[in-house]
Chain A
Amino acid sequence: GQNIDQPTEMTATEGAIVQINCTYQTSGFNGLFWYQQHAGEAPTFLSYNVLDGLEEKGRFSSFLSRSKGYSYLLLKELQMKDSASYLCAVSDSNYQLIWGAGTKLIIKP
C-alpha cells in the first residue's frame, strides 16, 4: 500500500531551527509537496521537490532523497506564527496526491 509517515507533533523554541521529516512508500513518484495548515484554516503550498537535493525559499527549505524515500522541511529563525501543521504529500505514478497526517509544530517563546 501507499504510505506517508511524519511525526505527529514537534515542539521548538522561537528563533531556533526545526527539521520535520517525512518518509514515503508510494507506487511511483512524481514529486513531493509540503503544505502548511494553521488551525481551522486551509492548507497552503510551501514547496515542491521532484529532484534530489535542497530547495531553499527564505526561512524554509525542503530536501528530497528519492533513493531513500525521504524528505525534510527545515524551518529557520522560528517565529510564533510558524505554529501550524505541516503536511507532506507525494504525487504517485497516476499524479494522485497521497497525504501524510501532518506534523503539528508548537513554537514556544
Chain B
Amino acid sequence: DTAVSQTPKYLVTQMGNDKSIKCEQNLGHDTMYWYKQDSKKFLKIMFSYNNKELIINETVPNRFSPKSPDKAHLNLHINSLELGDSAVYFCASSPPGQGPEKLFFGSGTQLSVL
C-alpha cells in the first residue's frame, strides 16, 4: 500500500519534448508538493498545493505547470524540456496542521533530457 506514488520512475526524453509526471497520495493529506533534487542533492521546493489550491510557487520557469484535479493528486507537466531540467523530481505530501509537518515523499522520478 504505497502512501505517495509517482510515475514514471525513470523518464528519458529529447530536448524540446513535453512530458508529465503523475503523483497520487492515499494518506488523506491536504497538502502536496513538488520538489526538484539536482545533482548536488539540494532539495528545492517548486510548488505546493493545499486542497487543490496553489499556495507556493517558487521561481520556476512557466514551462512547468502543476495540475491538481483533487487533493489526492498533483501532476507536473513540463513543456519544451531543456537539458537543465535533468534532475530527480519528488512528489510529497503532509498532513493538515498549523505548524510544520513531516513530509511523506514519493519514490522520485529521474528525468534525463538528452
Q: Which A positions have Cβ atoms within 8 angstroms of B?
A: 30-31, 33, 35, 40-45, 48, 85, 87, 89, 91, 95-97, 99, 101-102
- Provide the bound-state CA to CA distance between A31 and B101, in Å: 9
Decide if B51 is an interface residue (CB 8 Å cutoff).
Answer: no
Indicate whether A101 sits within 8 Å of B40 (C-beta atoms), given known contacts A42-B90, A42-B108, A96-B45: yes
**How many residues on the B side are at the interface (Cβ–Cβ under 8 A)?**
17
User: Taking each of A40, A41, A42, A101, which has the highest tally of chain B beta carbons within 10 Å of its own beta carbon?
Assistant: A42
Decide if B61 is an interface residue (CB 8 Å cutoff).
Answer: no
Q: Which B positions have Cβ atoms within 8 angstroms of A?
A: 40-45, 56, 90, 99-100, 102-108
Q: List 10 A-B contacts (CB under 8 A).
A: A31-B99, A41-B107, A42-B105, A44-B105, A48-B100, A96-B45, A97-B45, A97-B100, A99-B43, A101-B42
Whether B100 lies near A99 (C-beta < 8 A) is no
Contacting residues, chain B, for A99 (C-beta < 8 A): 42-44
List 7 A-B pairs, minimum CB-CB distance, nearest first.
A91-B100, A42-B105, A45-B102, A99-B43, A31-B100, A102-B41, A101-B42
Query: A43 contacts which of B44, B45, B56, B105 (Cβ < 8 Å)?
Result: B105
- Provide the bound-state CA to CA distance between A97 and B46, in Å: 12
- Provide the bound-state CA to CA distance between A89 and B108, in Å: 19
